[in-house]
């Protein structure tokens, strides 16, 4: 290490010697230790996470302290390679606020099938930022519980561990922004890329790529959530699966490659689903059941099966409820619009981009379908 006021053999020695708000710069090397950060400070590597590794010696016990345990507000941990927490967290911020975890590579070894090891754990951690990290081989890549607000941004998370979740926000957490992340879950056995679980509110999810898992993205009892311009792709039974969730906007996303369902909802209310491409699904591209007061329109629905859309819910709307302005073939029109169905063969004689007859599927009529493209 090379702080201005001394030279230390361990990170912990430097932390113990430091004053509030000091910056500790960690030289290249492998540090066989676990660190407790008990005052506000910044710990940063000199030359990045590939050159500065914090990797404790193996432990015989199944549960041992995290590699970094933070017990203070205003702590930044940046640019470190963090390995081998052995069934526990790489960085634990639980109970502390205004912390930043950025530019780290976190790879922990999981030995016990029942462990809850997280790359970054945030329980009751408010005003926290986790960005530009690479996290892999974890039970939970990023775990948030009873926290608000926070930012999870531009992280790369992957796992081939069974029963794992790339990022989970749960238990009365609210006001989180999840932007620009890539989460790829290799297996599908009880695995999720993103989970918003139980009384989660005011979440904005934009510009991410989520792939893999039995349910790639799963919402349970979430509300006031926006999904905007995400890719939810590749494998698994469900791409976007929502239960008992309200006031969710799903706008301009690519949802593809589900073995069963693209967008599947049950007991959901006040959904606004527009301008999404929902393609390549084994059963229904869009399946809404016992879900009412929803608006679903101007989506491209293209399923590998004949049942592109299944809708068992009233009241609600599968088309605009009043005339709207829209652009088709570089011309602006005003009128009612519905969804695009890949198997619709009706005519559009007036050339306004809306079919002149309803789309009929399984004795259901869907009005104002987009004309064949």
Residues recorded for the chain:
373
Report which secondary-structure segment, H or E, holds 152: strand 150-153
The pLDDT tens digits of the residues spanning 134-147 come to 999 888 999 999 99
Q: What is the mean pLDDT of residues 172-200?
A: 92
The pLDDT tens digits of the residues spanning 32-87 come to 999 999 999 999 999 999 999 999 987 655 567 899 999 999 999 999 999 988 77
**Structure token digits, residue 372:** 């064949």
Flag whether pLDDT at 192 surpasses 80: yes
Q: Distance between CA 186 and CA 183 in Å, rounded?
A: 10
Q: pLDDT at position 280, please? A: 83
Distance from chain centroid for Cα 138: 15
The pLDDT tens digits of the residues spanning 233-254 come to 987 889 999 999 999 999 999 9
Q: pLDDT at position 158, please? A: 94
Q: pLDDT at position 305, please? A: 63
- Burial of residue 312 (CB within 10 Å: 0-12, 13-18, 19+) is exposed
According to DSSP, the β-strands at 364-366 and 359-361 are antiparallel
* Short-list 27, 122, 128, 114, CA closest to 66: 122
Q: Categorize the per-residue pLDDT at 13 as very low, low, confident or very high, splitting at 50, 70 and 90.
A: very high
Flag whether pLDDT at 3 surpasses 50: no
Distance from chain centroid for Cα 102: 17
Q: Which of 12-16, 135-139, 186-190, 251-255 has the lowest mean pLDDT?
A: 186-190
Most confident of 227-231, 317-321, 361-365: 227-231
Alpha-helical (H) ranges within 238-359 are: none
Percent of the chain with pLDDT over 90: 63
Q: Categorize the per-residue pLDDT at 19 as very low, low, confident or very high, splitting at 50, 70 and 90.
A: very high
Torsional sign, CA 226, 228, 231, 235: positive
pTM (predicted TM-score) = 0.92
Q: What is the mean pLDDT of residues 140-158?
A: 97
Flag whether pLDDT at 2 surpasses 50: no
Q: Categorize the per-residue pLDDT at 351 as very low, low, confident or very high, splitting at 50, 70 and 90.
A: very high
Flag whether pLDDT at 112 surpasses 50: yes
Flag whether pLDDT at 228 surpasses 90: yes
Flag whether pLDDT at 1 surpasses 50: no
For the chain, give the mean pLDDT.
89
Tokens 């198997």 correspond to what residue?
343
């Amino acid at each position: 290490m090379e702080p201005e006021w001394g030279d230390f053999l361990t990170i912990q020695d430097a932390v113990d010697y430091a004053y509030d708000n000091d910056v500790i710069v960690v030289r290249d090397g492998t540090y066989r230790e676990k660190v407790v950060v008990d005052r506000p400070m910044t710990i940063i590597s000199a030359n990045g996470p590939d050159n500065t590794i914090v990797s404790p010696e193996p432990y015989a016990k199944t549960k041992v302290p995290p590699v970094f345990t933070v017990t203070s507000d205003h702590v930044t941990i940046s640019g470190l390679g963090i390995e081998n927490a052995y069934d526990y967290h790489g960085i634990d911020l639980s109970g502390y606020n205004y912390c930043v975890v950025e530019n780290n590579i976190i790879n922990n070894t999981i030995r016990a099938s029942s462990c809850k090891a997280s790359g970054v754990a945030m329980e009751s951690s408010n005003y926290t930022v986790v960005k530009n990290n690479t996290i892999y081989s974890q039970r939970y890549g990023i775990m948030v519980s009873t926290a608000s607000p926070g930012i999870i941004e531009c992280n790369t998370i992957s796992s081939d561990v069974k029963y794992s979740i790339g990022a989970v926000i749960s238990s009365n957490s609210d006001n989180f922004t999840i932007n620009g992340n890539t989460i790829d879950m290799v297996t599908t056995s009880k695995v999720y890329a993103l989970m918003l679980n139980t009384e989660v509110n005011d979440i904005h999810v934009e510009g991410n790529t989520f792939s893999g898992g039995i349910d790639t993205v799963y919402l349970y009892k979430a509300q006031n959530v926006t999904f905007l311009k995400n890719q939810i792709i590749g494998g698994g039974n469900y791409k976007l699966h929502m239960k008992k969730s309200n006031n969710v906007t799903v706008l301009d996303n690519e949802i593809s490659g589900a073995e069963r369902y693209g967008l599947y909802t049950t007991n959901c209310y006040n959904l606004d689903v527009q301008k999404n491409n929902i393609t390549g699904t084994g059963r229904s591209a869009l399946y809404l059941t016992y879900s009412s007061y929803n608006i679903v329109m101007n989506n491209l629905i293209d399923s590998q099966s004949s049942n592109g859309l299944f809708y068992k819910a009233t009241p609600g709307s599968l088309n605009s409820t009043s005339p709207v302005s829209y652009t088709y073939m570089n011309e602006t029109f005003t009128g009612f619009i519905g969804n695009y169905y890949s198997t619709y063969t009706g005519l559009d004689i007036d050339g306004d981009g809306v079919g002149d007859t309803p789309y009929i599927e399984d004795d259901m009529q869907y009005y104002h379908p987009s004309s064949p493209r």
